[in-house]
Amino acid sequence: MPTHQIEIHYCKQCRWLLRAAWMAQELLTTFDEEITTLTLKPGTGGIFEVRVNSTLIWSRADEGRFPDIKELKQRVRDQVAPEKDLGHSERS
Amino acid sequence: MPTHQIEIHYCKQCRWLLRAAWMAQELLTTFDEEITTLTLKPGTGGIFEVRVNSTLIWSRADEGRFPDIKELKQRVRDQVAPEKDLGHSERS
């Protein structure tokens, strides 16, 4: 069984803990067979980055916004289970 | 600034993600200066264990129950900031 580690690095000054923890729960629910650990990492200065096994898959600085949960799940899926169909969230 | 890593190992079969994520947010709020990472780790078989820098501070198997959030914070405090006063939650 593959092992995948996800990290959500968020800005605590910006009070982004709640959205980081929400996304964490969404990912741990959708990918509960694929994820071995999900790490929440408080940071500063407006940071919001998501990594899968150290690969950066979302950076607020680069994208200029937060991910929609559907696109975040697609990017995680592409790393941890490329063949996995995300069901309804893929077809809307 | 000291660096502390917390891990919450929870049973996904028992659907304990939500309470694990809730406790994670409580700890990241109370100890936002002391915690560098908080890792959620899905497991099986009824596991619910909390570690601070690999030191086991709560085990559902040992205690026979989940921690009250006040006692969990006190145990974390004793590891990461022994001099820290937890305010109201200490005096009730």
pTM of the complete model: 0.94
CA distance A38 to A21: 10
Least Cα distance to A28 among B10, B36, B58 occurs for B10
Residues of chain B positioned with their CB less than 8 A from the CB of A12: 28, 32
CATH of the domain at B26: 3.40.30.10
Q: What is the ipTM of this complex?
A: 0.94
Query: Does B17 sit within 8 Å of A28, measured CB to CB?
Result: yes
Residue of A nearest to B9 (CA): A37
Task: Write the secondary structure of B14-83 as one string of H (helix), E (strand) and C (coil).
Answer: CCCHHHHHHHHHHHHHHCCCCEEEEEEEEECCCCEEEEECCEEEEEHHHHCCCCCHHHHHHHHHHHHCCC
Phi, psi of A70 (to 5 degrees): -65, -45
Q: pLDDT tens digit string along A40-88?
A: 999 999 999 999 999 999 999 999 999 999 999 999 999 999 999 888 7
Digit-coded pLDDT (tens) for B28-64: 999 999 999 999 999 999 999 999 999 999 999 999 9
Domain hosting B81: range is: 4-89
By Cβ distance, the residue of A17, A32, A42 closest to B12 is A32
Q: How far is B32 from chain A (nearest CA, A)?
A: 7
Domain tally, chain A: 1
